[in-house]
Amino acid sequence: MAYHWAPLAEGQTPRIYAPGQLIYLQGTEADVFYYLLSGKARSYISSASGGERVLATHHSGDLMGEASFFDACPRVSSAVAVTECRVVSVDRDRLDRIFRAHPSLALPMLQYLARTVRMLSSHVDNMSFLQADRRVARCLLTFQEE
């Protein structure tokens, strides 16, 4: 499902992230979420032991960090630029103004958020209930879809 988030970028100067540059960090305050105008980024969870689990690969047109933004809790993941990325950040005041000017964006935003919650839930299910070979197979299928 493609979403058109152009109003999020209106009047904003995008920030450029170089490959390997951190966009946001797990455990930090989520006072903004991000709209990826161009490039490719990866979100992941870090464990206390230093391991990482990739959650998603984000492409142009995707939102990032929106789940923690909406629940006002610390970020559950980090995101890093895979290629050069042009990114716009959206804070609460800006989002409120955008929804007033473009109320038709509210439902797609909720749908996008629901998709993110479903994706995060599937990661929990994969780690908790599937045997290792089935987790690997599901992971490979997910990468194939990208």
Q: What is the DSSP letter of 91?
A: E
CA 8/CA 49 separation, integer angstroms: 37
Write down the pLDDT at residue 84: 98
Class of domain 8-145: mainly beta
Could you list the mean pLDDT of each consecutive 10-residue stretch along the chain, which spans 146 residues?
81 97 96 97 89 90 92 92 98 95 92 76 52 58 52
Write down the pLDDT at residue 139: 55
* Angle value at C-alpha 51, between 78 and 89, nearest 5 degrees: 5
Q: Torsion-angle region of residue 132: left (phi > 0), alpha (psi -120 to 50) or beta? A: alpha
Write down the pLDDT at residue 35: 96
Write down the pLDDT at residue 124: 52
pTM of the full predicted structure?
0.79
Write down the pLDDT at residue 128: 47
CA 12/CA 25 separation, integer angstroms: 22
Buried/exposed 47-77: b ≥16 CB within 10 Å, e otherwise = eeeeeeeebbebeeebbbbbbbbbeeeebbb
